[in-house]
Chains A and B, each alone.
Chain A
């Protein structure tokens, strides 16, 4: 894994994408590739080997869970750690997401100043 992590961030909310970009690149020193939908993300990964998948759960057309399922069909992404981001924070909702293959779930709203540190801590745990 490279020192500077490359994160594939997928979220349909433009504002949250912008905040996350700042939090991970400007504050966290990561490389971020973003997509606004599952379909766009599947195109992006054709020429990308991300270190982390950071996926919003509630997206129209293709949810984060469906997207992860499709990403797992791509051989080079079968072992890439996935973190879901969600505003649905009830315990049963979070445990359900972990069962879908996420290493962890980050609740929205998150703290942009510590987001990158959290991601590093999760994938090195």
Chain B
């Protein structure tokens, strides 16, 4: 039994403006991988689609003539076609009705798994829009051609060059669509590798790849070649030819954690020819099992100079602000002390305001300097074993006078026993100082603030609690930001800088920890600083030592 269908377009199309009619056996439709022509009267679907794929109806007619004349040649062409082209047929509702063997091989499905599926089941999400375009083209009677990424059963992406034709009955009814695809995944991958290599080549950083034993260069990008002046002629060179100060044994000592797989990468700075380079070194094993080093060299001379200039600027600004403040604060202090004679109550009140605000300016300058040092990496942690119980007692003693000023007492909890952790004592003291002075400021006179020390699993918790006004929920999200206070009124009346909690946050994070807040309006606030365990702090020290040794 056979039925007559037409392939092509309902409306004008340059490729198939004269739609040709074929008689296609239903048996052939059911077996599109047919590799033998039945009699020369009929064409298999594979041959038809092959012909279409190869160049349109003229070529189909030509093939038919050739097939009629030379069956064996056509058989060979058909075999070749089925080996190289992925073919599928869908019904008018885009459900798959036929596929060839190549389809099944490429996508890794059995025929049963495929037949009846919607065609877009093989499209990844990002290509679903293409499916819509193809459906639209089929409805409009226009063949669709383009690159399409599909997905194999394993999830592997399959790049295809795809052509889809609508098929019509004599009555002009869209009955099915035929898709022919060529697998271009390998080409795409090669293109992607070439693109990556081209990008690497044009990277501004210098890239060196060298053998992990002989240290002979196997690759240099353009920036590296330009610096060396060797052009492509670098294969017999080693890092010792690039850097006069290169010491082979020291290099291997430095790279030991990489070779042993203890670190994924090393970053260190070298100076050569008056230029500072930040080196990022990695140790990789090629697919052929050969070990190589990959070094990215970034010229950081400008950056270092800029950082130095910035530090100098901040230091100078600080100096220029502090000098006049010395006179302002000093003068006010002396007048207020009575060293220059008695003051009226009104004068004293006004001078106290001025004096208090000059104190605040000094604090702001100090805090800005601290934060600048942290951001520039100057303020490195000086880690040492520290008894937090003692440190908290010291901080409480240092804040006693301040708390008395606000008529607030200090209660310590959990500080009877030594509690030793690896931390920067000065910085943790700064945290305690900031949190305790805040707690005192926002407490109700007569209340205590509670400083407690506890452990939570491997971590250490330092909590500073007050029973004061609390912090409204809407202000809690930004309370650790710079220059943030609950309200301008608080800042005026309490004299804070708006930087203290940000400094607490930065210091806690530098220790690998964090600070959190629990507060409710009218119920006081608890700031909890979580510090990593002694063990992890030591681990960090070890890492730092490895890096230091590497540098």
Residues of A within 8 A of B (CB): 13, 15-16, 18-20, 22-23, 26-27, 58, 86-90, 92-93, 107-113
Docked pose: A123 CA to B59 CA in angstroms? 106
Q: A19-B327, A89-B369 are in contact. Are A109 and B315 (CB under 8 A)?
A: no
Known: A87-B326, A113-B333. 5 other contacts (CB 8 A): A19-B331, A26-B339, A89-B322, A108-B322, A109-B326
- Closest chain-A Cβ to B375's Cβ sits at a distance in Å of 14
Q: Is the interface of B mostly helix, strand, loop or mixed?
A: helix
B534 interface residue (CB < 8 Å to A):
no
Smallest CB-CB separation from A26: which chain B residue? Answer: B339
Asked whether A88 lies within 8 Å of B334 as measured between CB atoms, the reply is: no
Asked whether B369 lies within 8 Å of A109 as measured between CB atoms, the reply is: no
Asked whether A58 lies within 8 Å of B319 as measured between CB atoms, the reply is: yes
What are 6 residue pairs bridging A and B, where the CB atoms are less than 8 Å apart in the complex?
Answer: A15-B324, A18-B327, A92-B378, A108-B323, A109-B325, A113-B333
Docked pose: A93 CA to B334 CA in angstroms? 28
Q: A13-B323, A27-B339, A113-B337 are in contact. Are A19 and B318 (CB under 8 A)?
A: no
Of listed A19, A86, A87, A89, residue having the most chain B CB within 10 A: A87
Q: A22-B334, A27-B334 are in contact. Are A16 and B326 (CB under 8 A)?
A: yes
Q: A88-B315, A93-B315 are in contact. Are A113 and B334 (CB under 8 A)?
A: yes
Q: A90-B373, A109-B362 are in contact. Are A16 and B319 (CB under 8 A)?
A: no
Chain A proximity mask over B358-374: 1 for CB below 8 Å, otherwise 0: 10001000100100010
Asked whether A111 lies within 8 Å of B319 as measured between CB atoms, the reply is: no
Smallest CB-CB separation from B362: which chain A residue? Answer: A109
CB-contacts of B502-526 with A (<8 A): none
Chain A proximity mask over B319-358: 1 for CB below 8 Å, otherwise 0: 1111111111111011001011000000000000000001
Asked whether A27 lies within 8 Å of B322 as measured between CB atoms, the reply is: no
Docked pose: A80 CA to B331 CA in angstroms? 29
Chain A positions within 8 Å of B373 at CB level: 90
Asked whether B330 lies within 8 Å of A87 as measured between CB atoms, the reply is: no
CB-contacts of B295-323 with A (<8 A): 315, 318-323
Docked pose: A39 CA to B373 CA in angstroms? 35
Chain A positions within 8 Å of B333 at CB level: 111-113
Among B315, B326, B337, contact of A108 (Cβ-Cβ < 8 Å): B326
Smallest CB-CB separation from B323: which chain A residue? Answer: A87
Asked whether A89 lies within 8 Å of B337 as measured between CB atoms, the reply is: no
Q: A89-B318, A89-B369, A109-B329 are in contact. Are A23 and B323 (CB under 8 A)?
A: no
Asked whether A23 lies within 8 Å of B330 as measured between CB atoms, the reply is: yes
Chain A positions within 8 Å of B328 at CB level: 109
Docked pose: A22 CA to B331 CA in angstroms? 9
Asked whether B318 lies within 8 Å of A16 as measured between CB atoms, the reply is: no
Docked pose: A16 CA to B322 CA in angstroms? 11
Docked pose: A87 CA to B195 CA in angstroms? 56
- Closest chain-B Cβ to A122's Cβ sits at a distance in Å of 18
Chain B positions within 8 Å of A18 at CB level: 327
- Closest chain-B Cβ to A45's Cβ sits at a distance in Å of 24
Asked whether A13 lies within 8 Å of B327 as measured between CB atoms, the reply is: yes
Asked whether A88 lies within 8 Å of B319 as measured between CB atoms, the reply is: yes
- Closest chain-B Cβ to A64's Cβ sits at a distance in Å of 13
Of listed A26, A27, A107, A112, residue having the most chain B CB within 10 A: A112
Q: A112-B333, A113-B334 are in contact. Are A88 and B318 (CB under 8 A)?
A: yes
Asked whether A15 lies within 8 Å of B337 as measured between CB atoms, the reply is: no
Among B318, B337, B340, B358, contact of A87 (Cβ-Cβ < 8 Å): B318
Docked pose: A16 CA to B327 CA in angstroms? 5
Asked whether B330 lies within 8 Å of A19 as measured between CB atoms, the reply is: yes
- Closest chain-A Cβ to B365's Cβ sits at a distance in Å of 9
Docked pose: A19 CA to B326 CA in angstroms? 8
- Closest chain-A Cβ to B318's Cβ sits at a distance in Å of 7
Q: A58-B319, A87-B318, A89-B322 are in contact. Are A27 and B337 (CB under 8 A)?
A: yes
Smallest CB-CB separation from A93: which chain B residue? Answer: B315
Docked pose: A27 CA to B140 CA in angstroms? 99
Smallest CB-CB separation from A57: which chain B residue? Answer: B319
